[in-house]
A and B are shown apart, each in its own frame.
Chain A
Amino acid sequence: MRWIALLGRTGTVILAIGLALLIAWLIPSGAGSQFMWSQPIEPEQYMLRESGVYSPQNGLQISVNATDNVRVYLLGVTLVELDNWKTLLREAYPDSERPDSEMFFIEFYTVPLIFFHEAYPEQPLPDVLPLPDVYPKPLSMVWNITLLDSGLQTHPEIILWEPPPGSAFSHELFPEDVLNIMAVVANPSSDTVEVDVWIEEVVALAPKDRIIFPAILLISMGIGLTIVWLVSRKVRKSTF
């Protein structure tokens, strides 16, 4: 009888935890800052936008519409890793003729530049900067889709979302860590593609898709254990 009582109280506690998760799930998420941009992407090129730092309670909703099939990725890099990559790039390109441009490029395009550096370790940085006299060839080198593919093969852990190619996408993502998240759109076709990207910050108590299953599981277990306890109490009372 004591074991049933113990299981029953365990059940009521589990039920209380499950209900708390359910309430966290029911509280509606709020919308934060949002931004959008439209851009043509040249054939066999990709574009990347760093959209900011996100956390398990602060996710993002992304929508992409394109005039032809494109590949979309959400990449997430920890702040530590991003700092390490920036340091590596500064050490790799110490002698630049355009230090301001170099700093700007390393600061805002760390990921494409690290992909480039890994593919062409001997290539000096001035050759890849978007300088007027060498534009657009060096720029196209950095934004080449083959560099993106090789970079993602080397760092598959940074891919947070990779849907099949298409022309319309919509997705909500809450990272499992505090991450710097970037949106990448790649054009694998031989024609220029017009792309519209819309990103909205989503603020929630908890990622809904991650807590609903534990909530249902805990509530079911809790109800099951509590019912057994209550029934055995009723039987016991009617016996005496």
Chain B
Amino acid sequence: MGKGRPFLEIFTYALDEDYRLPILEIFAFLFALGTFAFVDFAVGYHRTGETIAYSLVNTLCGFPLMFIFVVLILKNVAYGLGSDLDRGVMQTLFSYPLKRRYILTARLLSGLGIAVLLFLGIQIFGLFLLAPDIMTTYPGTVFLTYAAHLCSPALLLAGFVVLLTLRLKRGGVALVIGFMLFLAGLIISGWVPSIAYNTGSDVPLKIWAVINPNSALQAYYYNMGTSLFASESWVPSFSEVLLYLGAGYLIVTAIFVAGYIYFDRRLEI
């Protein structure tokens, strides 16, 4: 028996656990209706070109829809993975002729991969229905904006919660910490511009842009600092924005690699 069949078995099991009827359907419905309800074209009225495309995606990745998405992925990684560890299902999964890292990959592919596909697929489909001209003219901007929002908070939080769940061997606490980190991110994103203003330095904005690359993207597209109050506006160049995005994904990758190493070598059940 090759590796493919046991991998698919675990993936199918994870899909069944993560998306019991009608969880997937409820989230698909919320993402679809939310795309039409929360997209805000008015933010693009006084802006031009690709800034309109950025603003559109930015409004869709704002608090209500991103929060629903974060709820879905944190539920999957914390509750799903946590209950597998807690109920001893992981021991059964370890009996499959498969390396540990493939078991975690199958779990994350279901918990994160499917959720990301659902979120992006529905929103991009909705935007194509609403504004096909913008979507076909500026696909690069749309891709970049989604990449920045996925990096942080979505994947960054998911990585942290995976690590915590593996370390604590239960999902409840990890889930609560995940939500607290999400709220902390919202609060900090409001503080950073004030700190930059009070210190007269753009360093806090740059540090925050590494953790949250969308702030660099926003500063680039809106052609001003992340805050109207910053004494010196920070306007990164496009290549700098790409660097911040790359740095953000590097952090996310490092967290997931740490999770894989822990799962592969140090997790004792």
Residue positions of A touching B, CB distance < 8 A: 2, 9, 12-13, 15-17, 19-21, 23-24, 53, 55-58, 78-80, 83, 175-178, 205-207, 210-211, 214
Min distance, Cβ A130 to any Cβ of chain B, angstroms:
30
Separation of A207 and B28 alpha carbons in the complex (Å): 21
Classify chain B's interface size. 20 to 34
Beta-carbon contact of A211 and B41 below 8 Å? no
Question: Could you pull out 28 A-B pairs where Cβ atoms are within 8 angstroms?
Answer: A9-B19, A12-B21, A13-B24, A16-B29, A17-B28, A17-B32, A17-B122, A17-B125, A20-B30, A20-B32, A23-B33, A24-B33, A24-B36, A53-B45, A55-B44, A57-B39, A57-B41, A78-B49, A83-B48, A176-B131, A177-B133, A177-B134, A178-B44, A178-B52, A206-B36, A206-B129, A210-B130, A211-B129
Count: A-B pairs, CB below 8 Å? 85
A20 close to B131 (CB less than 8 A) = no
Cross-chain contact B130 with A206 (CB below 8 angstroms): yes
Closest to A214 in B: B129
Main DSSP-derived SS at the A contact region: helix
B42 at the interface (CB under 8 A from A): yes
Q: A55-B42, A178-B131 are in contact. List 13 more A-B contacts (CB 8 A).
A: A12-B22, A16-B22, A20-B32, A56-B41, A79-B47, A83-B48, A177-B134, A177-B137, A178-B44, A178-B45, A205-B36, A206-B36, A207-B130
Q: Kindly state whether residue B232 has any CB partner on chain A within 8 Å.
A: no
Interface, chain B (partner A; CB < 8 A):
12, 19, 21-22, 24-26, 28-30, 32-33, 36-37, 39, 41-42, 44-45, 47-49, 52, 118, 122, 125, 129-134, 137
A115 to B30, CA, bound (A): 47
- Report the bound CA distance from A58 to B40 in whole Å: 10
Which residue, of B19, B21, B36, B47, has the highest number of chain A Cβ atoms within 10 A? B36
Question: Are A16 and B44 touching (Cβ within 8 A)?
Answer: no
- Determine the chain A residues whose CB is within 8 A of the CB of B49 once the complex forms: 78, 80
Across-interface contacts of A80 in B (CB, < 8 A): 48-49
